[in-house]
Amino acid sequence: MNSNRITLLLALGALLAGFGGWYLTNDYITDSVSRYKQTLNKGQKMIKVVVASHDLEAGATINSASAVLRDMPAAFVHKNVVRGDNFDATIGGKQLLYSLSAGDPILEAHVSRTQFTKFSDIIPDGMRAITISVDTISSISGFLTPGDLIDLIITVKDGPESRTIPLLKAVKVVATGKNLDNGLPPKEGYNNITLGVSPKDAARVIHAQAVGRMTIALRTEKDIKSGYDKGVTIENLIDVKQAKPDEPIRQKGFEIIRGGRS
């Protein structure tokens, strides 16, 4: 009985000694690191830089709740780090493109190019945003992205025939579904796109959806001047010149004399 008690006391003593040694060692390391930092920073110029106040996910808005200022030695400051005196002019109100851990410095490259609080902020003055439905074919197999330039082509009935004509050219895609032109990677697929057009063109697009079928043609940003020829019908669908039929040969007739004078 006494031997078991002695063994238990020895084990408890060893456990306490081990914990005490770990605590003292950890405290010594922490204190040494702190003193090393103080020695390292002593005499160096300190700069206030913007860092993440807590772990931030991509898409988070940068504001006073998600970012704080921290002193950092000038020798270790990244050239693109955001400083406290230019926070509002560079990243304030913008969205993160990448996840950051608490304490990570925020660089200008970490945030989106645009800043807005509501969707209408990205619509230019004098323009209107209009949304149209698209499918796999009309959306270029889903490869359309915000910022692309497209042409709208409509096919309508023209009497007994169908006619395909250009409706609008070099129209900017403002959004695909809920994906905006803000530098963030697309979060989801889409079955509609939003375009930025003039008020008159908005009315034309709405009417075109009611009377015909619209198709989208993607164009490059460098090619904004080229257009299309006149509309296409079944008659000029194939660019082959038809030979004119030969004119019928007119046959000479016979003069008929009826009766006579006495």
Per the structure, the count of domains in the chain is: 2
pLDDT reading at 206 higher than 70:
yes
Residue 28 resides in a domain? no
Per the structure, the complete domain to which residue 56 belongs is given by: 46-110
Higher pLDDT, 204 or 109: 204
DSSP 86: G
Mark which of 80, 110, 140 sits at the end of a domain: 110
Pick from 135, 161, 165, 163: nearest CA to 152: 165
Please check whether residues 154 and 196 belong to one and the same domain. yes
How far lies 57's CA from each of 54, 81, 105, 261, in Å? 10, 19, 14, 116
Q: What does pTM read for this prediction?
A: 0.53
Instruction: Tell me: do 154 and 197 sit in the same domain.
Output: yes
Length of the chain, please? Answer: 262
Query: Which of residues 204, 219, 234 is at a domain's end?
Result: 219
The string of DSSP letters for 129-159 reads EEEEE--TTTTTTTT--TT-EEEEEEEEEET
Same domain, 76 and 139: no
- Structure-token pair, residue 71: 């002193």
Q: Is residue 192 part of a domain?
A: yes
Interval 122-169: pLDDT, tens: 787 889 999 998 887 667 777 888 888 999 999 998 888 888 888 998
- 3 state SS of 41: helix
Across 45-65, average pLDDT: 86
9 in a structural domain: no
* Residue 75 or 39, more confident: 75
22 within some domain: no
Q: What is the mean pLDDT of the chain?
A: 78
Residue at 19 is within a domain: no
Q: Calculate the CA 262 to chain-centre distance.
A: 104
What is the rounded CA–CA span in Å between residue 136 and residue 216? 11
- Indicate if the pLDDT at residue 49 is higher than 70: yes
Residue whose C-alpha is closest to residue 140's, from 217, 255, 49? 217
Helices (H), the chain: 2-41, 87-90, 199-211
Domain at 69, CATH number: 3.90.1210
Give domain status of residue 179, yes or no.
Answer: yes
Q: Is the pLDDT of residue 228 over 80?
A: no
Neighbours of 51 (CB within 10 A): 19
